[in-house]
Structure 1
């Protein structure tokens, strides 16, 4: 069965491996993700060696179709986070295909 990871499962790992209280483990996880979000919000990047890189992608304004009314509409430009996996992560995900 595929493994599912969320904030609670990460907190459990920190609790078991480092003897932390759940409240403290969640604070650590929140702090890490807050820092990552702040870096991306300021057009920075997050580079985690062996995992991958998060960068900001500028999406241009474009035309679209309103799915409800079926009319043309303008979609404004936006910035989106984009993930580029490291070669280490790619290899790990494909190790059973070799």
Structure 2
């Protein structure tokens, strides 16, 4: 991801930061050695904002959005009938 700038360097060379971001290279700016902000092009920001807007559903809403079963298929998940499991004898020989 693009170049890393200190806050002081980014202030002094702000035009270079903006130009690089416009070329599609996100520019990270640190403050006291810790990542503070990322400068993006307006195009990248719009694209990311659209992606974020699509993921606003809660987990329950996401599950409810799943495709529904076709009519007549509901009984495939009938949990009232438990599978019959045969029991076998185990012989412990020496």
**TM-score, normalised by the number of residues in structure 1:** 0.26
Higher Rg of the two aligned structures: 2
Compare the two structures and name the one with the higher strand fraction.
1
